[in-house]
Structure 1
């Protein structure tokens, strides 16, 4: 029998890395420096690699014969469970790096906790993904500090990025019925339990970057329940078009 709660969690984390991986990949050939172009492309590949593991496992848990490709390319926007933060448009390099940093700081903590999961496959996937995410955190942290405490223009853009993205971070730490059930079973940590350590790390980095964290605590929510911004529909149209136009095609 399908484990609905576990399937829900696996699609949440798998959809999140999938959507962010696609967003980051949009910089390929467009980054402000060759080094960043390569680094962003590698980050996107890492995230897509994580997606394959999470969504493959989700398909197994669901028990309906759907593969990672089916889940990635043949679902509509309302069926996706990614956090709203990762579907935000790139806008500019400052927004991209700030979004990455805010996500990376959460991603690292989540994966560390998931390594202790009572579900062996979840634990194994988290352990494998953690090695790459440790680098993601180091890189995005360094860039936030360098750009925040850089020129007047880079500081202005980074502060703007923090201001517009902060309201989308609260959803990362919002508990719901699925979270509570899986936490009781020892499979995942309660998202809210990660918030204190995340804020400590983020506040330290923002301080070093001479950036100010917004005081408001309002949080945009809905992604975990399939309620998304208009941006996801456009992203999926681009991401899914080839697969849908040529069903069953192979290399």
Structure 2
């Protein structure tokens, strides 16, 4: 493959949205209210739409006969490069919202910078996606405030979710070799420069929600290198079932 770094860079971006979209899709028909159920499903569909654009580009770069579907559905667990945060399960609605919020704040900042990429395809995808992600961030932020500053039970559950998910946030700002190569070429985003503003924005919203900002400095990583939590295998079993059970299936 001529441009392996660009290919891996695209996978790193797209896999975050793919896996998070799959997690949100699990909630379809199980949301706390019909309106919220539909909203979560729409966010999931937005993410899958973005993923399709990324994987179409990745397939073009790979130029090895694979389609966007092959890249999305037929890789092994270690070949997925998403951060650990997005693969965490829907323990309860507070966890779903906490996971979404912690990713959305990062995602919005990331796409704002990706719009400036010298790669015109990535820049165009970012420009199209950022409109959707602004809504995602507003939706998840509003729910964090609603649950955090709500009943005693909702506050407790929201705080527990943030405390547990906090350990996965630092990985968002780790750079892979592909990341570093793309930053050098003016194509990729230097995520290390997003870290300070990210934690400031997240902390401000948590305080507004009458929630405590976790003080833990222990963080987990590995997803960007294909080393995932125990949840990933179960998620992929469901995501990949149809493609593996019925190879080359067409609608």
- TM-score normalized with structure 2 length: 0.98
Please identify, of 209-218 and 143-152, the stretch whose mean Cα deviation from structure 2 is larger. 209-218
The CA distance in 2 between the partners of 1:93 and 1:181, in whole Å, is 38
Q: Which residue of 1 aligns with 2:168?
A: 168
The CA distance in 2 between the partners of 1:231 and 1:221, in whole Å, is 14
| 1:38 is aligned to 2:38 | yes
Q: Which residue of 1 aligns with 2:97?
A: 97
Please identify, of 211-220 and 227-236, the stretch whose mean Cα deviation from structure 2 is larger. 211-220
Kindly state the Cα deviation for residue 184 of structure 1 after the two structures are TM-superposed: 1.1
Q: Which residue of 2 aligns with 1:8?
A: 8
After TM superposition, the structure 1 = structure 2 runs for residues 18-97 of structure 1, keeping only pairs within 5 Å, are 18-97=18-97
The CA distance in 1 between the partners of 2:194 and 2:66, in whole Å, is 32
C-alpha contact 1:102 1:202 (8 A) present in aligned 2: yes
The CA distance in 2 between the partners of 1:177 and 1:51, in whole Å, is 22
- Deviation sequence 1:57-115 (CA, Å, 0-9, x none): 11111221211100111111011011110000010000000000000000000000000
SS at match of 1:2: coil
Kindly state the Cα deviation for residue 185 of structure 1 after the two structures are TM-superposed: 0.8
The CA distance in 1 between the partners of 2:69 and 2:160, in whole Å, is 36
Structure 1, gaps ≥5 residues long: none
Question: What is the CA RMSD across the aligned residues, in angstroms?
Answer: 0.9
Kindly state the Cα deviation for residue 2 of structure 1 after the two structures are TM-superposed: 2.2
| 1:192 is aligned to 2:192 | yes
The CA distance in 1 between the partners of 2:249 and 2:177, in whole Å, is 39
C-alpha contact 1:170 1:218 (8 A) present in aligned 2: no
SS at match of 1:117: coil
Please identify, of 78-87 and 180-189, the stretch whose mean Cα deviation from structure 2 is larger. 180-189
C-alpha contact 1:12 1:81 (8 A) present in aligned 2: yes
| 1:236 is aligned to 2:236 | yes
- Deviation sequence 1:119-176 (CA, Å, 0-9, x none): 0101000100001001001111111011101100000000000110000000001123
Report how many aligned residue pairs link the two structures.
Answer: 251
The CA distance in 1 between the partners of 2:213 and 2:117, in whole Å, is 32
Q: Which residue of 2 aligns with 1:150?
A: 150
Q: Which residue of 2 aligns with 1:137?
A: 137
Structure 2, gaps ≥5 residues long: none
The CA distance in 1 between the partners of 2:184 and 2:127, in whole Å, is 21
- Deviation sequence 1:161-208 (CA, Å, 0-9, x none): 011000000000112322221111111121111111111210110000
